[in-house]
Amino acid sequence: MEVGAVAAMRYVKDGIKAARLVMQHTGHTLLVGEQASAFAISMGLPGPTNLSSSESVQKWSKWKENRCQPNFWKNIVPVDSCGPYHPKDIAELGKGTCSSANLMAAIESRSSHIGLHNHDTISMAVIDKEGHIAVGTSTNGATYKIPGRVGDGPIAGSSSYADDEVGACGATGDGDIMMRFLPCYQVVESMRLGMEPKLAAQDAIKRIARKFPDFVGAVFAINKNGLHAGACHGWTFQYSVRSPEMEDVEVFTVFP
């Protein structure tokens, strides 16, 4: 039950290292924003660093040229193609500031899916030879997110969770939806009650799909004995495993 996390941390590349420093050297669980960056740098991590790549800058430029579409806004009216945005009820009071109907249609019809090319979550669980379990998740967040957005990555029980007595879980996908269900906490608690990893993972995904049938996401589950499985919805999911007995990493494919 030792946890450390950072969110909305800019200018520092090593998110997992920063989260570990929060766990090791503070009595807090989560640090955010500029102060999280300042903390990480003060603890010896490299920074401040420009983390933009030519690829990300090019993608952002094309997005701006496409009138900032797609995006994560809803029930709003933009003053122009890229905002500022206002709630519809406020905008209707001052008619004449709205953009074209075509732009509104584009905003309203935006798919909420998180696909293979617009997020980059990595979650990993490790069991040492003494049986201690650690799990961590790192992500750059959803592409085209609203500034200030925090997804499920730093939320304990959502993107990852572990208990030495039971096992661990990691998650990836549409974090804005998945974090509402704490799927990894659910997986570990289901295994605690006797479910095998496969059934626990499937149960957690089904709980989300019942409420949000169009969501995209996946979890992996591993119990304290090393038995592992995955479950997914909306895409084909792959995860890799390596144990001391294995000569190389093995990739497992899970179908919806």
Instruction: Report how far residue 154's alpha carbon sits from residue 8's, in angstroms, rounded to the nearest whole number.
Output: 10
Which bin fits 65, alpha (ψ -120 to 50), beta or left (φ > 0)? Answer: alpha
Dihedral, CA atoms, 179, 185, 186, 192, nearest 10 degrees?
Answer: 180
- Residue 234's alpha-carbon distances to 18, 149, 182, 211, 218, in angstroms, are 32, 23, 18, 14, 9
Structure tokens at 206: 């089904």
Specify whether 121 is catalytic.
yes
Instruction: Report how far residue 79's alpha carbon sits from residue 75's, in angstroms, rounded to the nearest whole number.
Output: 14
30-32 vs 5-7, strand pairing mode: parallel
Residue owning tokens 């961590």: 136
Catalytic residue among 121, 137, 139, 172: 121
- Residue 100's alpha-carbon distances to 26, 84, 106, 207, in angstroms, are 51, 15, 10, 39
Instruction: Determine contact, residues 171/160, Cβ cutoff 8 Å.
Output: yes
- Residue 130's alpha-carbon distances to 133, 164, 225, 245, 246, in angstroms, are 9, 10, 11, 16, 19
Positions annotated as catalytic residues are 121
